[in-house]
Chains A and B, each alone.
Chain A
Amino acid sequence: EVQLVESGGGLVQPGRSLRLSCRASGFTFGDYGMHWVRQAPGKGLEWVGFIKSKDDGETRAYAASVQGRFTISRDDSKNVAYLQMSSLQTEDTAVFYCVRGRRPLSGPSGHYFDYWGQGARVTVSS
């Protein structure tokens, strides 16, 4: 059974940093791109960023709203993906989901999302 379990959420002051972890099980973690998607209170889903598999060059991409502040990494030996968030703003308050990306067998390099973690709540407030 595919499982994604986020950890590391909590309350943080504006301007500070926080790192989320996503521990994966039930599949060959190294074969998949891993994404982070967030949902602010009362808002819709927002893609945050992703990291491709090692075979795909571990390419990273980020939403414009977090570019330069957030960094995604992975440790395939531990089956863990990370979201390092810095210079946090109140607008970053959200539930952050770790998501497995599925790439089409043929076609573009983007992914759709087949498995989601339960989410980690991040609150940025003074």
Chain B
Amino acid sequence: DIQMTQSPSTLSASVGDRVTITCRASQSISGWLAWYQHKPGKVPRLLISKASSLESGVPSRFSGSGSGTEFTLTISSLQPDDFATYYCQQYITYSHTFGQGTKLEIK
């Protein structure tokens, strides 16, 4: 099975900061990667598919890049609503593996 590893596990940042979360796959997944935002008590929200395609309604401060085994999610200027846990997920295989999550906290 393909393993997905996110770094860091926790990230402390301030409103207005630019932050980057990394997701690495144990083998190439081409560009078949999605990113999700999950807040406590809420339903996970799809942000990006195919590594860099922003979903409708997602603010443009979110962007994704990468291919093969290394991917990044960047938030260009953190807003108060962005503090949450972020997950990557591969969908090149049926195992549909998630990364372990990156918790974005207020500094």
Contact = CB atoms under 8 A, between A and B. Distances in A.
Note whether A and B form a binding pair.
yes
A61 B50 CA distance: 22
A109 B89 CA distance: 14
A38 to B, nearest CB: 11
Nearest to B93: A110
Nearest to A104: B50
Contact of B49 (A64, A102, A117): A102
A26 to B, nearest CB: 15
A45 B36 CA distance: 10
Interface in B1-39: 1, 30, 32, 34, 36, 38
A6 to B, nearest CB: 11
A113 B97 contact: no
Nearest to B103: A44
A112 B43 contact: no
Interface of B: 1, 30, 32, 34, 36, 38, 43-44, 46, 49-50, 55, 85, 87, 89-101
23 contacts: A35-B96, A44-B85, A44-B98, A44-B99, A45-B101, A46-B98, A50-B94, A107-B30, A108-B92, A108-B93, A109-B94, A110-B90, A110-B91, A110-B92, A110-B93, A110-B96, A111-B91, A111-B96, A112-B46, A112-B89, A113-B34, A113-B89, A119-B43
Interface string A108-126: 1111111011110000000
Interface of A: 35, 37, 44-47, 50, 61, 63-64, 97, 102, 104, 107-114, 116-119
A50 B96 contact: yes
**Interface centre among A37, A50, A109, A112, by most B CB within 10 Å?**
A112
Given A44-B98, A45-B87, A47-B95, A113 B36 contact: yes
Contacts of B93: 108, 110
Given A104-B32, A107-B32, A108-B32, A113 B46 contact: yes
A113 B32 contact: no
Contacts of A109: 94
B1 A64 contact: yes
